[in-house]
């Protein structure tokens, strides 16, 4: 069965490059990013893991724990890490799950037979502290992910989890946001004292409230 937004992220136990992982325990009270790779020693994956490692401080600042997955085994992962460090100029500072039995891949519907029966697609799951899935993105194996965009989405998810706002197209941290439709226009000044602009009755803009 396919997972959907709002579902509880399935818990699992698996071996990883940093020891046994019990997923919900690993996440604790943090946000989480689980992302899969078609296979070890593949070119796009190598650049992706390097990119994520270089963004460690950005994920830590947002209270996000990152964990990767590939259908290869631990020894393969460990050898691959050497290549990543050599070619990308960074240490791999997060665990990589060894999913040779495809248990986790199947649990998260990461194998799409019409794409490839043996390897995972490039799936990304963002999981909130409540262990519910907040975002699902699936890329084809040939397209590397944009992790700056993933950080932008996490910023939006964390902001909108705490305030009655939404973020407009191409929004970035620090820009104006949209007041949620459930808030009456008359109530905006008390809820958002930084001011607001009514463009249409259904489109009300206010400065980002947590800055």
pTM for the structure as a whole: 0.92
Phi, psi of 36 (to 5 degrees): -110, 160
CA dihedral 166, 172, 174, 176 (to 10 degrees): -40
CA–CA distance, 178 with 4 (Å, rounded to integer): 25
β-pair type (177-179, 165-166): antiparallel
CATH architecture label of 13-144: 3-Layer(aba) Sandwich (3.40)
Q: Which of 9, 45, 49, 55 is catalytic?
A: 45
β-pair type (96-98, 165-166): unpaired
Residue extents of the structural domains in the chain: 13-144, 163-206
- Model pLDDT, residue 77: 96
pLDDT tens-digit series, residues 170-205: 999 999 999 999 999 999 999 999 999 999 999 999
The three-class DSSP label of residue 6 is coil
15 is known as an active-site residue = no
pLDDT tens-digit series, residues 11-69: 999 999 999 999 999 999 999 999 998 889 999 999 999 999 999 999 999 999 999 99
Query: Any idea which residue has 């990119």 for tokens?
Result: 51
- Model pLDDT, residue 112: 52
- Model pLDDT, residue 2: 83
CA–CA distance, 31 with 157 (Å, rounded to integer): 10
Asked whether residue 117 carries a pLDDT value surpassing 70, the answer given is no
């Amino acid at each position: 069965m396919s997972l959907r937004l709002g579902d509880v992220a399935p818990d699992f136990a698996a071996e990883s490059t940093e020891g046994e992982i019990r997923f919900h325990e690993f996440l604790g009270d943090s946000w989480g990013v689980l992302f899969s790779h078609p296979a070890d020693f593949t070119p796009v994956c190598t650049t992706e893991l390097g990119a994520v490692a270089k963004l460690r401080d950005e994920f830590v600042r947002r209270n996000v724990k990152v964990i990767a997955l590939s259908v290869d085994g631990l020894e393969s992962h460990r050898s691959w890490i050497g290549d990543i460090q050599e070619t990308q100029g960074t240490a791999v500072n997060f665990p990589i799950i060894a999913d040779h039995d495809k248990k986790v891949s199947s649990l998260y519907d990461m194998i799409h037979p019409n794409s490839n029966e043996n390897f995972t697609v490039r799936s990304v799951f963002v999981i909130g502290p409540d262990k519910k899935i907040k975002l699902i993105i699936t890329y084809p194996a040939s397209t590397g992910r944009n992790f700056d965009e993933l950080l932008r989405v996490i910023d939006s998810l964390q902001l909108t989890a705490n305030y009655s706002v939404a973020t407009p197209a191409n929004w970035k941290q620090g820009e104006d946001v949209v007041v949620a439709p459930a808030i009456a226009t008359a109530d905006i000044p008390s809820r958002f004292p930084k001011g607001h602009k009514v463009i249409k009755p259904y489109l009300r803009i206010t400065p980002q409230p947590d800055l």
